Structure 1
Amino acid sequence: MYDVIGGVENRTFRVLWAMEEMGLDYTFHKSKMHSETVASLNPSGKVPILKVEGKPITDSSAIMQYLADKHDKLTYKAGTIERAQQDSLHFQIIDEIDAVLWVATRHSFTLPEERRVPEVKESLRWEFGLNIARIADKLGDQEFLMGDKMTVPDIILCHCLSWARSAKFDVPHDNLSAYGKRLRGRKAYAKAAAN
């Protein structure tokens, strides 16, 4: 049994979805960022947090990959070429898609108003367009990023595609639209969203 702390409206959703895909038992504790509970487990005040044997693990990517490795699901075995390729995709999505969306979010409403630079979003949309085109090319007509096996990067990318849509960042690639729709149609996705 695992304890997940966070909210479905942020990156915690990725962890919940991954856990549903893996068929893991967990208790979900809804808590807002920077709450007293969250700050006691993660001084940055960020979620998600996974408690394992009373110890906190933070960052959605770290949590998902820990669980994937531990339960041998949604991943390739460490030390294999396939795992290196999976990790390449994982880090590319975090660096080139997630990070760009996060900067745009910060300059929209997360940073104090006097620190926001709304004009940066035009540049971020341009950068996102270049980066998402490379991901669309890598996906091609495959079912998942790694071919016929769903892995942790698929969860991150699908979450980012939904985030991009809500942030009004264009994703003009039919294969990515179909991919996102397929993944959002999974039972595990619906179960995670029901939280």
Structure 2
Amino acid sequence: MIKVYGQVASRAFRVLWALEEIGLEYELVDAGPQSDTVRAVSGLGKIPALEVDGAILTDSVAIMTFLADRHGALTFEAGTVERGRQDGFTERVNDEFDALLWMAARHGRILPKAHRVPEVIPSLKWEFGRNMERLAAEFEGPYLMGETMTIADILLGHCIGWATLAEFPIESEKMQAYGKALRSRDAYKAVRAKA
């Protein structure tokens, strides 16, 4: 049985969403970052962690990539041009959206107060909005890779949800509709129901 260590309101959401989309059975071990439960399986103490075949995998994108490759779902085949494009979108979302959201969270509430620089948050929001507008200009839909949903969509869908909660700008109606369509998926709703 696959075990996911983490919490729904974290990057573990992405892994759970991918598992639901693929249709795999799993157990969610509800544990927070740096908890004894998580540190017992991963020295980093970060979530999510995935236990499979007697091994522990970490990092939400690495875990989703593993699951997609193993089960031939939510991905294009390795070595194809389509997979290269998909990987490009995945890295772009990580760099241009996830990294900005994480930096804002760290400077807004996670880092010790003496190390926070909240003045950087407006700059991060501006950059996020600019990046979203550039992506919107290229986006043809219904997914990043056209007709095929991939892990890059799960990653971006999670970032759009996070951005909404953190009051980051998503002014493009096209990208708002894309986010809404992703949130309407049964797999997404199944994970939200676990919260």
Normalised to the residue count of structure 1, the TM-score between the two structures is 0.97
Gaps of 5+ in 1: none
Secondary structure of 1:3's aligned partner: strand
- Percent of pairs with identical residues: 48
| Whole-angstrom distance in 2 between the partners of 1:137 and 1:59 | 29
Amino acid corresponding to residue 32 of structure 2 in structure 1:
K
| Whole-angstrom distance in 1 between the partners of 2:145 and 2:169 | 24
Aligned position for 1:40: 40
| Whole-angstrom distance in 1 between the partners of 2:95 and 2:180 | 23
User: Which stretch of structure 1 is more off in the superposition, 127-136 or 57-66?
Assistant: 127-136
Q: Does 1:157 align with 2:162?
A: no
CA RMSD between the two structures:
0.8
Secondary structure of 1:107's aligned partner: helix
Secondary structure of 1:93's aligned partner: helix
Q: Does 1:84 align with 2:76?
A: no
| Whole-angstrom distance in 1 between the partners of 2:84 and 2:122 | 33
Q: Give 4+ residue runs of structure 1 displaced > 3 Å after superposition.
A: none
Normalised to the residue count of structure 2, the TM-score between the two structures is 0.97
Aligned position for 1:108: 108
Contact 1:35 1:45 in 2 (8 A): yes
Secondary structure of 1:78's aligned partner: coil
Aligned position for 1:185: 184
| Whole-angstrom distance in 2 between the partners of 1:21 and 1:40 | 28
Aligned length in residues: 194
C-alpha distance after superposition, 1:99-150 (max 9, x if no partner): 000000000111001100010001111111221112212223x110000000
Aligned position for 1:73: 73
| Whole-angstrom distance in 1 between the partners of 2:179 and 2:49 | 25
| Whole-angstrom distance in 2 between the partners of 1:192 and 1:161 | 16
Secondary structure of 1:27's aligned partner: strand
Gaps of 5+ in 2: none
